[in-house]
């Protein structure tokens, strides 16, 4: 009996000690898991709260900016407005736009009237009424202020840094400035002044204060240059930047956060709160309308308070439960370890790649039951993911294969072997086509109608991708079918247009320029159907733009008779045809290559008479201009150089 009790005591002690350790581990794991979940939930809530607040703030600034753009448009199209009418317009503008505190139209010197050097009427909300004043005075020259100088120099609209306006209202505000232009007598676009819209930030302070953050949490806003616009400590508003606060507190972390916020980034990071001198978590996000940034501070102690309380409760219950657990520990141990062992074995099998293994089904709501269901769900989703991935990969490979075939077919219908006519000494022709996608809508072609007449063409189909490539193939086929001896180039294009318009339910069209060159006489007849004008590099060194158009793009309207123009090419003349993929090629700053740059390139290479060299050089210049920017449109270049019969004889 004693022997049994001793053994029972030892066994009970061992099991109780093990249970105590396990419960401690479970309590610690639970604490860490709940802590992680709370932080994830806080981050989601902070993101939702900040993005919602940012969206509401942005709506106010965007509304004010749009109103300013509308007022600038009005000023550009009303050149003869009087002082009185302009002040009425401003007063009505401020009255109708609730988000606008004040507005001004500041003119360039002598632009409002020849006898008035500076004129800048300003209307603002003065209590319940709208007051008006002229900003120009002996003590205030508006045309040297930042809100006027920066937009008038950069010719771009912008929001100013927040500032305290002690001239009209005595409030903190931010100004949105929009330069406006008019056509000068010489026909050039000229800056006439700047339209401004002021937004009071008083509502912003009330709005930020009303955000529902936990007990000691708070929100703040900084401008795009780091100025504190809103903060619980009002002494810092407009008097400090986030970097000066970091310098005072010797806090490199706050300085790093300030740089991130100025860069327009979002984040959820641990941070030492200067206001309460305690560890906090900071969520920050940008305002898209004006480059400002919103931050929300969460004290960590308040975030973890529920976890600590829960951990105390769990620990107390665990200690009290040891007495009861001791009585049924053997049964519970078996009940817990057995399914865990099976689940661990299933996890190993799944980890090795066998997703068809059975998973123990446990119909309970405890951790083991949830773990079992999570494993089952995980296995099912992995199987579904692998299946979908295989199907998606197969479909993608099939599409890529079909696109490659389509690209090969498309390239097979345009001439790509150069020199194209090595036995013809009267001319030289070279062309290149680079699609923005696997297949494109640009086309070029050239062939002999008879032994003396060379037909050539360049076209650009509306749109991109497969539909454009199909329409391109149809247009290419029609050009060969319609070009016949005895027909003028205008008659050929008329025939192509007629067939393209028939059953054109997709309403696609192609800009098309074609020509017929008499290789003996140099007579060239051109028909331009809504396409970019070609250039002729004269043998004498000049450049001529053939800007005449003989009809709209093909496929738009039937019937339509296309005419043609005629020039005579002298030996040494070169004609350059291209699509808008050349002139509209963009760099990373969205600047276009432009026709002027094309002309500059041709002028620089006016002595180059080799068609292939000219094409390759122009293509290289376009690529150099675009840099790393993605090609946005198909690029086609065709160069025809006329040598003449006399050159051939020599």
Instruction: Convert 256-309 into a string of H (helix), E (strand) and C (coil).
Output: HHHHHHHCCCCEEEEEEECCCCEEEEEEEEECCCCCCEEEEEEEHHHHHHHHHH
Dihedral sign, CA of 160, 163, 167, 169? positive
- Express each pLDDT in 410-442 by its tens digit: 666 788 888 889 889 899 999 999 887 756 778
Mean pLDDT value across residues 310-327: 72
The pair of three-digit structure tokens given for residue 617, joined into one six-digit string: 């050089």
Could you tell me how many residues make up the chain? 650
Tell whether 252 is covered by a domain: yes
How many other CB atoms sit within 10 Å of the CB of residue 455? 22
DSSP designation for 517: E
- Express each pLDDT in 497-508 by its tens digit: 998 888 787 788
Same-domain pairing of 289 and 438: no
CATH number at residue 104: 3.30.450.20
pLDDT above 50 for 1: no
Tell whether 121 is covered by a domain: yes
Same-domain pairing of 418 and 547: yes
Q: Please give the pLDDT value at position 413.
A: 74
pLDDT, the chain, mean: 83
Tell whether 326 is covered by a domain: no
- Express each pLDDT in 255-296 by its tens digit: 898 899 888 898 888 888 877 788 888 888 998 888 889 888
Tell whether 18 is covered by a domain: no
Same-domain pairing of 52 and 180: yes
Determine the 3-state secondary structure of 332 from DSSP: helix
Q: Please give the pLDDT value at position 329.
A: 67
How many other CB atoms sit within 10 Å of the CB of residue 70? 15
Spell out the residues 6+ positions from residue 530 whose beta carbon is closer than 8 angstroms to its own.
509, 511, 512, 549, 551, 552, 553, 554, 556
Calculate helix-pair angle for 489-501, 465-482, nearest 10 degrees: 140
Question: How many angstroms separate the CA atoms of 371 and 608, rounded?
Answer: 76
| pTM (whole model) above 0.75 | no
Tell whether 3 is covered by a domain: no
- Looking up tokens 């773990």, which residue turns up? 371
Q: Can you give 73-140 as a three-state secondary structure string?
A: HHHHCCCCCCHHHHHHHHHHHHHHCCCCCEEEEEECCCCCECCECCCCEEEEEECCEEEEEECCCCCC
Reported as a pLDDT band with limits 50, 70 and 90, residue 7 is very low
Same-domain pairing of 302 and 430: no
Q: Which of 183-192, 330-339, 569-578, 607-616 has the lowest mean pLDDT?
A: 330-339
Q: Please give the pLDDT value at position 16.
A: 67
Cis peptide before 481 (omega within 30 of 0): no
CATH number at residue 505: 3.60.40.10
Please choose, from the candidates 222, 214, 309, the residue with its C-alpha nearest in 3D space to the C-alpha of residue 261: 222
Tell whether 54 is covered by a domain: yes
Same-domain pairing of 298 and 431: no
Q: Which of 283, 306, 329 is the last residue of a domain?
A: 306
Is 341 or 123 the better-scoring residue by pLDDT?
123
Range of the domain at 546: 413-649
For residue 125, what are the β-bridge partners?
130
Tell whether 470 is covered by a domain: yes
Beta-sheet pairing, 158-159 with 129-134:
unpaired
Q: Which of 282, 306, 330 is the last residue of a domain?
A: 306
Q: Which of 265, 289, 306 is the last residue of a domain?
A: 306
Tell whether 347 is covered by a domain: no
| Total tally of structural domains belonging to the chain | 2
């Amino acid at each position: 009996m004693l022997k049994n009790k001793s053994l029972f005591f030892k066994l009970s002690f061992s099991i109780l000690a093990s249970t105590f350790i396990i419960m401690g581990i479970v309590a610690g794991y639970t604490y860490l898991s709940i802590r992680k979940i709370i932080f994830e939930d806080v981050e989601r809530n902070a993101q939702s709260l900040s993005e919602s607040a940012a969206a509401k703030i942005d709506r106010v600034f965007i509304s004010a900016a749009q109103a300013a753009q509308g007022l600038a448009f009005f000023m550009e199209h009303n050149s003869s407005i009087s002082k009185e009418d302009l002040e009425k317009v401003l007063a009505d503008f401020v009255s109708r736009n609730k988000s606008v505190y004040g507005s001004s139209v500041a003119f360039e010197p002598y632009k409002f009237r020849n006898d008035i050097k500076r004129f800048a009427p300003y209307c603002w909300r003065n209590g319940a009424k709208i007051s008006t004043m002229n900003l120009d005075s002996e003590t205030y020259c508006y045309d040297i202020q930042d809100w006027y100088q920066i937009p008038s120099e950069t010719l771009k609209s912008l929001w100013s840094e927040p500032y305290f306006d002690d001239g009209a209202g005595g409030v903190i505000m931010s100004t949105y400035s929009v330069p406006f232009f008019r056509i000068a007598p010489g026909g050039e676009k000229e800056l006439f002044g700047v339209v401004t819209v002021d937004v009071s930030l008083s509502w912003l302070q009330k709005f930020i204060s009303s955000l529902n953050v936990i007990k000691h949490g708070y929100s703040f806003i900084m401008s795009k240059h780091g100025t504190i616009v809103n903060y619980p400590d009002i002494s810092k508003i407009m008097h400090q930047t986030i970097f000066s606060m970091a310098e005072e507190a010797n806090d490199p972390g706050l300085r790093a956060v300030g740089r991130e916020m100025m860069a327009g980034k979002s984040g959820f990071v641990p941070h030492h709160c200067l206001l309460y001198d305690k560890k906090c978590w900071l969520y920050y996000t940008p305002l898209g309308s004006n480059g400002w940034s919103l931050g929300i501070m969460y004290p960590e102690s308040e975030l973890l308070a529920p976890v600590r309380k829960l951990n105390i409760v769990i620990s107390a219950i665990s200690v009290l439960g040891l007495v009861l657990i001791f009585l049924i520990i053997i049964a519970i141990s078996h009940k817990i370890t057995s399914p865990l062992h099976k689940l661990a074995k299933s996890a190993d099998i799944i980890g090795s790649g066998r997703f068809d293994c059975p998973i123990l089904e446990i119909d309970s709501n405890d951790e083991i039951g949830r773990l079992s269901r999570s494993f089952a769900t995980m296995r099912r989703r992995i199987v579904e993911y692998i299946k979908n991935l295989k199907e998606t990969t197969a479909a993608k490979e099939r599409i890529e294969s079909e696109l490659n075939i389509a690209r090969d077919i498309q390239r097979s219908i345009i001439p790509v072997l150069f020199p194209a006519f090595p036995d013809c000494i009267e001319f030289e022709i070279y062309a290149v086509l680079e699609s923005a996608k696997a297949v494109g809508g640009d086309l070029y072609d050239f062939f002999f109608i008879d032994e003396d007449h060379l037909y050539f063409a360049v076209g650009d189909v509306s749109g991109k991708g497969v539909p454009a490539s199909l329409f391109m193939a149809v247009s290419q086929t029609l050009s060969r079918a319609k070009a016949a001896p005895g027909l003028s180039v205008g008659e050929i294009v008329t025939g192509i247009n007629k067939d393209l318009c028939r059953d054109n339910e997709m309403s696609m069209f192609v800009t098309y320029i074609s020509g017929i060159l008499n290789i003996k006489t140099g007579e060239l007849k051109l028909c331009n159907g809504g396409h970019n004008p070609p250039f002729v590099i004269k043998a004498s060194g000049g450049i001529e733009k053939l800007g005449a158009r003989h009809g709209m793009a093909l496929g738009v309207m039937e019937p339509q008779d296309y005419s043609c123009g005629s020039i005579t090419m002298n030996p040494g003349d070169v004609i350059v045809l291209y699509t808008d993929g050349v002139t509209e090629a963009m760099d990373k700053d969205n600047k276009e290559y432009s026709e002027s740059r094309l002309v500059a390139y041709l002028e620089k290479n006016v002595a180059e008479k080799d068609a292939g060299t000219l094409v390759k050089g122009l293509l290289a210049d376009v690529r150099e201009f675009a840099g790393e920017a993605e090609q946005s449109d198909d690029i086609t270049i065709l160069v025809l150089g006329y040598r003449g019969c006399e050159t051939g004889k020599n």
